[in-house]
Every structure is written in C-alpha cells, then in structure tokens.
Amino acid sequence: MPQVVVGTAGHIDHGKTSLVKALTGVNTDRLIEEKERGMTIDLGFAYLNETTTIIDVPGHEKFIRNMAAGAANIHFGLIVVAADDGVMPQTIEHLEILTLLGVNKGWVAITKIDVVKDCEWIDLVELDIRECLISRGFQQLSVNRINNLNGDGVEQLRSDIANVVNDIEPEFGSKYFRMNIDRVFSKTGFGTVATGTVVNGVANKGDEVEILPSMSKAKIRGLQSHGGSLEKVITGDRAAINFSNIKANELDRGYTVCASGMIEPIQQAIVSIKMIKSTSWQIKNKQRLRFHFGTSEVLGRVAIHGQKILKKDHSLSLVLNLESPVAMALDDRFVVRSYSPMETIAGGIVLETTPSIPWSKMKGLVFEMPIETDKRFRFLVEFNWRNPKSLEFWQKKFFSSNYKIQVMQDDGLELSDNGILFSKYGKERSIDEIIKYFEKCYDNNPFRRVITAESIINALHLSDEWFDIMADQMIQDNMLEDCQGGYALSDYKVQFSDKDKNDIGIIEKILVDNGQEPTQLVQIIELTGFHPKRVGDLLHILLEQEKAQALGNHLYLHDDQLKFIKSSVIEYFNRKKTLAVGDFKELTGLTRKTAIPLLEYLDNSKYTYREGNVRFAGKNLNE
C-alpha cells in the first residue's frame, strides 16, 4: 500500500496541533519555545497509521516560510478552521500555497464547535469554507465538525482519511531518486539523519547519492519509514535517511537528496508564473521576490519581456534569475512571495532548466514554449534540431513528470539506430540547411565541389553525431556523395571554360616539371602570376581529380611522382627493414627541407610509421 503525507493548513490558534494530537496521540510541538509560547513555529511530524504521516505546520504569518517547506512534501491537505473565527487570512494563504503546489484535495476540520453554541453560525462558517475552497479549485473530501472538549468528530475524521488512503493506487514514476529535506538531526550511534517525502524514484540501502546544491556525495547507511527499518524507499514514502561520511552541519532544510548526476543546481530557468486572485500585488520586471522550491527558499528576480507588469489572476512565461543555486527539475511547482512585506502572491511551474542561449534568442523561446508537458517535450525536441539528444536524455530531463515520453512515428518523431531522437521538422530543416550551404559554397568557389564535414558542421552549428546521421541519410537518398576528404552534392558538376582548362594545365605542368621535389604554393603563384585565390581553386581541382597531393605546409606533389616515390619505398623495404631520413634523401634526391614533410605525409597516410629516428613499412604501403 502506498504511503500518504497529509499536511495541516489554517490560521494561528485554530487548533491544528491539538487536532493532530487527538488524531495520533503525538504532540508535534517539540521545541521548548513552542511549548512555552503555545504556538507552532516549525514543522511537526506524527504518524496516523502505518501508511499515513501528518505534517503539522505553523499558522502564524511570520512562519509561512516553514509552512511552505512542509507543503512541498505533502499529498493531501487538512484544512483546519476554528468555528468561532471562521475563514481568516492565513486560512486563505495556506490554501493558496497548497493549490499552487498542486495539492488540491483534502479534508476540512471545523474545530472548537464547543465554543460556539449557535449551530446556524457554524453552518454559515461551513458555507464560507466551502465557497473559499471552490473558488480556489480545492476539492473537499469531507467536512468534519470537531468538539475540542470531548473529541467528538475526531474518529470520523480519522476514518475518512483512512478510507481515502486505502483506495489510493501505488504510483510508479521515475526511477531516478529525489527527496527534499525538511529536517536534519544527528542521532547517537547512527550519525546524520535527514527526513523528507520521496518525490521521485527509489533509494536503496547502500546507494551513493548526491546532496544539492552543495554537490557533495553521501552513502545511505540506513533507511526508515514510520519508525521501521527498510531496505528501500519509493515514491510517496515518508523517509528518514541515515547517511555515512557526511555531518549534520553540512545539510539543511531546503537541500535535495538525489541520484548522482541527475540534477544540476541552477540559477536561471524559464518558468510560467500565475498570480493568485486575492493578491493586491503586481510583479514588475526585475522585481526582487522570494521563491519556494521544494523545501527551500531563495531570493531572485524575474525578467519580463514586452509586458512590463504581471497583475492578479494573470499568468506569463518569463525568465527567472536566482541569487543562489537551486536543485529544480522540469514541471516542478513553486510558490512566489513578495520580498517585503512577505505575502504569497503567485505560483509557478518550471518549463526549462537549461536555457543556455543568448537573451536575444531566449525571448522568443520564452513566448513560444508550451506549458503542457507533452507539447513542450515535442517543442524542445524541435528547438534542438541542430543538436538532437538521445531518448535517454529526454527521459532523464523529464523524469519528474507524470507524462511518459514515447516515440511514435505519427507524432513526427523518429529514433535513429544509435538512440538519437529527432523530429521530421528537424530532419527536413537540417537537409535544407546543408543543401543551402553547399549552394552558397559553390557560388563562392565553383571549382570546389568537395566540402569537408568540419566546415559544414562549424558553419551550421550542427553536432558531429547529427551531421553523420544526416549525411548517411542524404547519401542514401542520392543527395550527397561521400568523396575523399569530404562531401559533394550528387547533381553538382564543375563546369570548366577553355581558359580554366588551360590554367589547370599550366599548374599541373609546374608540378610535373618539379619531379620528386615538392612544390611550394608561393612558387606556383609566382610562376603563374595568377591570383592566390585562383591558384588555390585550381589546385583543389587537381586534388579532387587525384592528379596532385597536398603534403601539408603548403607543399604539393604530382600524383605520378608520389606513386613513383611510393614504389621506390616499397622496393627499398623489400631489401631493408628500416628507413632513416638519410636513406630517404638518397632514395629521392631531396634535401632535408622537403624530405621531412614528404616523410610525414607518408606517415600520416600509413605508408610508413616512425619509431625513434627510423621508419618501418606501414600497413597501407602495399595497397
């Protein structure tokens, strides 16, 4: 049976702690100050039964921060309203926080009915509560009137909670573990212990986990839930984790325990924020605000483009810039409170956690990005068309969402043989951009039919892996040809005028006349008198026609001479095992200045290989 966490909500002195004690027998006010002042300050914890935990939250407006931390770890709300007061400011604010965090179901307890003798008044209070809940989208599972003196109504409330809990189906979500810490302490004989509700995944005894945002590592020494030791905890469990090799002062409420490498603490995100109906506040560009992620509170500012003010009951996607790093994931909900005076004014959802693009482009991304998870997933796949990610990458990125990422051909998504996920749009646009780049290059250099993969990748900012996939597809579709040193459009033919043919012949003759002596580029330019760019273009034609070879360092050799040198080297190795520089100079009649670049070319071509000061026959020499 899955575990459930219920959180109290309500105004100060409406009897939340007393009700929890009546339900569980536990006084959750553990601090000396709480007992002295008779007021809940921090979170309290009690077990209703084997599967249900109750978190008691403070009702005073000064401790809303603690309330928000508790609300981040609950599944249902227990709305507590005193019959003599009715709905009060913190009743509303607590309810706003619950619904903003996605907690929209729970029970209502009208306490202190023994104080109010007028039943009609209690009926009016109940009607007011119902209207308050309905207007905020909170579903009441039952309304229970509690007599604080004799306990009437407590047993029925306990039964109502148990009936709902017993009907809950187990949730099997992400495999990646995450838990927001709401309490840390040190226990004699055990060491550091942190508690929280498991948000995602599974943690096993002995696992190594990561603590964020500190990025420290820790090993799970032991696990407990509801006072019993376990070998593992899963999504929804109320868990206590005993760590080894980490001290209690290295952890705090607001930290996150998660599987290693799953989340990176960040300070910038794209989010959607919706203002609550009851606020009188407005959010302005660059306004400093308080943001509650999980059990943490962090200060930050919003960057609003175009629309300068966000008013009540309105929503907007914007960029969030935080003052300190926070561990957040896609689709996480958070609460927004004003900086001073502190009031709950809005809630939000995380849309994108790695917007590593310039602000000029980010503005468009913010406005175009869908809120719905499935649509946003497809949007991000298409947005990353230049550098598609693997299916595993997206599953990990969306690990906290209920939406299950699936790849279906009719959705316009495809999966490559090596697991890269891409859209039909991304494929078509990539092919179109590659063809346009070839055409542009041909316009600038009509003689250079072959273009290197490196130049295409750099010009179009494509990932190496994605270009390889696209190149294979385009070759298969007869759009590209795989040529030595690069690629060419299949239907492109270099057209030569009579003058072009004559000039190519002039350069080739220079290479032939130089024999085995490599020819320098500057020498060709001087002898022909051609413009350096034209010499480079015509040399490229000779290279493509395999009539010349580039040796590096702007040295060129006619292919016939290279073949002659290669045959001489083969004949040499038939007689001897090693080839020294002096032997090669004697074999070719070259000086050291040109012999060394030619030997290095032979090494790079695997015709020879070097060990120390001598060379041996390479694996490609006899091919």
Question: pLDDT tens digit string along 121-139?
Answer: 999 999 999 999 999 899 9
Tell me which range, 293-307, 349-363, 459-473, is most confidently predicted by mean pLDDT: 459-473
Which of 207, 231, 259 is where one domain is finished?
A: 259
pLDDT category, 59, cuts 50, 70, 90? very low
| 311/313 Cα distance (integer angstroms) | 7
Identify whether 171 is part of a domain. no
Q: What pLDDT is stored for residue 34 in this prediction?
A: 37
- Is 159 in the same domain as 290? no
In terms of phi and psi (left: phi > 0; alpha: psi -120 to 50; beta: otherwise), the region of 553 is left
Question: Across residues 13-37, what is the average pLDDT?
Answer: 70
CA distance 53 to 63: 21
Instruction: Note whether 21 and 158 are same-domain residues.
Output: yes
- Whether 389 and 315 share a structural domain: no
Per this entry, what is the length of the chain? 623
pLDDT of residue 58: 60
Does residue 548 register a pLDDT over 50?
yes
Q: How many domains does the chain have?
A: 5
* Residue where one domain finishes, among candidates 122, 144, 166: 166
Encoded tokens for 484: 């030595």
Mean pLDDT value across residues 530-543: 89
Q: Are residues 402 and 276 in the same domain?
A: no
CA distance 340 to 347: 17
Q: Is the pLDDT higher at 5 or at 301?
A: 301
Reported as a single tens digit per residue, the pLDDT across 438-460 is 999 998 888 888 899 999 999 99
Q: Give residue-wise pLDDT tens across range 60-112.
A: 444 455 555 545 567 899 999 999 999 998 898 888 888 888 888 999 999 99
Q: Average pLDDT of 514-525?
A: 91
Shared domain for 71 and 159, answered yes or no, is yes
228: in domain: yes
- In this prediction, residues 174-183 reach a mean pLDDT of 87
Query: Has residue 539 got a pLDDT over 80?
Result: yes
Q: What's the mean pLDDT in 265-278?
A: 91
Residue 406 lies in a domain: yes
Whether residues 147 and 20 share a domain: the answer is yes
Q: Which residues pair with 350 in a beta bridge?
A: 271
Higher pLDDT, 49 or 345: 345
More confident residue, 386 or 59: 386
Q: How much of the chain exceeds pLDDT 90, in percent?
A: 44
Rg (CA), the chain: 36
Q: What is the mean pLDDT of residues 407-411?
A: 58
The reported pLDDT for the residue numbered 166 is 78
Mark whether 193 and 311 lie in a shared domain: no
List, in sequence order, every residue forming a beta bridge with 233; answer none if it has no partner: 203
pLDDT value of residue 300: 96
Q: How far is residue 353 from each of residues 158, 176, 285, measured CA to CA in Å? A: 41, 17, 20
CATH number for the domain harbouring residue 229:
2.40.30.10
pLDDT at 478 over 90: yes
Identify the pLDDT of residue 439. Answer: 94
Residues 12 and 140 in one domain: yes
In the prediction, which pLDDT does 73 show? 63
Tokens of 82: 């005193």
Q: How many CB atoms lie within 10 A of CB 428?
A: 11
Range of the domain at 350: 267-368
Residue 594 lies in a domain: yes
Global pTM? Answer: 0.78
Establish if 414 belongs to a structural domain. Answer: yes
Question: Within 13 Å, how many C-alpha atoms sit on residue 302's CB side?
Answer: 29
Contact of 362 with 269, CB cutoff 8 Å: no
- Quick one: pLDDT at residue 359? 67
* Residue 374: inside a domain: no
What CATH number does residue 575 fall under?
Answer: 1.10.10.10
For residue 36, CA distances in Å to 19, 62, 416 come to 19, 17, 66
**CA dihedral sign of residues 209, 213, 215, 218:** negative
Q: Among 26, 8, 65, 41, which Cα is nearest to 338's?
A: 65
Domain CATH number, residue 398: 1.10.10
Q: Write the CB contacts of 502 (distance below 8 Å, at least 6 apart in sequence).
A: none
CATH number at 135 reads 3.40.50.300
Domain for residue 505, yes or no?
no
260: phi then psi, degrees, rounded to nearest 5: -60, 135
Please say whether the dihedral angle defined by the alpha carbons of residues 378, 384, 389 and 392, taken in this order, is positive or negative: negative
Mean pLDDT of the chain: 86
> What are the pLDDT digits (tens) for 65-74?
555 554 556 7
- What pLDDT sits at residue 31? 43
One domain, residues 9 and 156 = yes
- Of the given ranges (20-34, 294-308, 388-402), which has the lowest mean pLDDT? 20-34
Q: Per-residue pLDDT tens for 558-603? A: 999 999 999 998 999 899 999 999 998 989 888 888 899 899 999 9
Note whether residue 501 is domain-resident.
no
Domain end (from 259, 290, 317): 259
Tell me, yes or no, whether 227 and 295 share the same domain: no
Same-domain status, 360 and 335: yes
Same domain membership, residue 236 and residue 209: yes
- The confidence score (pLDDT) of residue 47 equals 80
Q: For position 188, what pLDDT does the model report?
A: 79
Alpha helices in 325-444 (DSSP H): 359-368, 373-383, 391-397, 424-444
